[in-house]
Amino acid sequence: MAKLALVAVIASLLGAVSCEFPVYAGYGFPRPIPNMPFAFPFPPFFPSASPAPGLRVGYYTHNGRCPQAEKIVKEAVEKATAGEKAGLIRLFFHDCFVQGCDGSVLLSGPDSERTAFPNLSLRGFEVIDAAKAALEKACPGVVSCADVVAFAGRDASYSLSSGRINYRVPAGRYDGNVSRAADTFLNLPPPFGDLNLTTAMFAAKGLSQDDMVVLSGAHSIGRSGCSSFPDRLPPAANSSTAMEPKLAGQLTGACSADSSVNVLQDAVTPDKLDIQYYSNVLSREVLFNSDASLTASSQTESLVKFYAGKLPVFRGKFLGPIQWNHDFEDAMVKMGYIGVKTSAEGEIRKTCAFINKASAVIPLASHWLRMWSCLQPEELRQDMVSGCNRLKKESVGNQTPTDS
């Protein structure tokens, strides 16, 4: 019994405690009550966007760290399919919204972020792995997986927009060492969320409602499983945001046999990152309630109309369909600042799916030494503390690169 108790304590110290939530569509939220606004049961948490002194454009060309880093990632993305490229943009979003932009979504293992329901359909991992393998050959231990994800999201956006979206990516992120499935439930906006919920969850990350509307435009590419929008079928009567009846009928037929069926998010231009999404919102031909709810307020609806080309001027801006490209660029850069890790908080992984061995061993050794030191005589306790400090120093000495 004493051993079991000790194991339980260690598990809690290591954060290996799983939480169970009432599940709706796998997102860890209670099922919404029909015709009632959805209330967020607990506040989203984890870091919001904030200044990150270590990030800079051209980070890997500075001091010759790895001048070809961005070129190597771009070459890997160019070989990807349209579906994988769409997945890379979504991968960046899912990474940044949980634990910050630290590559935690890439980590493999039981109860990691990759195993959570919202992430089971993520794509692009093989592209990231290929880019990282090439980078390790060219510049071992220099380029973080978190930066690879950020570069790949930019390169995928460039490709799927036929070059209309192109921006410089501030880099210098470090990779995190924590990845928990339960964290995805608290941080990723669910597809059934209303405007207030989605706005609040973006605000928790330092992103504005306008940023939310802009980034939602990425739903013009990719596919979604039927299990992500059962609340939309059949369409609600007397609702201004209910799904367009013809589309609802088609999806009901496609989804009735198997909820795992994947359908296009934009049937008009499925492989183009463009403003078609906003026309789809206005015609109610969107899959998710979070998309349909963009017409629930005059502010968001006006912005949707502006990007769709239905409103000539909005807040002093002109040519909405063109402006959206620039706004999307800015929002992607802004999102890339969420919860950035430094060398003191993270590492440069050798393989994106696994933390480095030293990083895995040192925290565990520290916990064991800390626990046993409470049970041993003072002289032995001092020896253990010295040993723990020595291990930490050795670990820090092995970290590369520095922030300089």
Question: Would you please indicate which residues are annotated as catalytic (active-site) residues?
Answer: 94
Write the single-letter amino acid at 270.
Answer: P
Distance CA 346, CA 344 (A): 6
Write the single-letter amino acid at 110.
Answer: P
Q: With the C-alpha atoms ordered 90, 93, 99, 103, is the resulting torsion angle positive or negative?
A: positive
Task: State residue 354 phi and psi, 5-degree precision.
Answer: -140, 140
Contact of 144 with 60, CB cutoff 8 Å: no
Reduced to 3 states, what is the DSSP secondary structure of residue 181? helix
Write the single-letter amino acid at 197.
Answer: L
Contact of 145 with 211, CB cutoff 8 Å: no
Distance CA 44, CA 203 (A): 10
Distance CA 175, CA 152 (A): 16
Task: State residue 345 phi and psi, 5-degree precision.
Answer: -110, -15
CB count in 10 Å sphere of residue 128: 24
DSSP string, 77-101: HHTS-HHHHHHHHHHHHHHHHTTSS
Q: Where are the beta strands (DSSP E) in 70-163?
A: none
β-strand partners of 174:
341
Cβ-proximal residues to 88 (8 Å cutoff; 6+ apart), any chain: 77, 80, 123, 124, 127, 128, 149, 152, 153, 155, 156
Contact of 223 with 264, CB cutoff 8 Å: yes
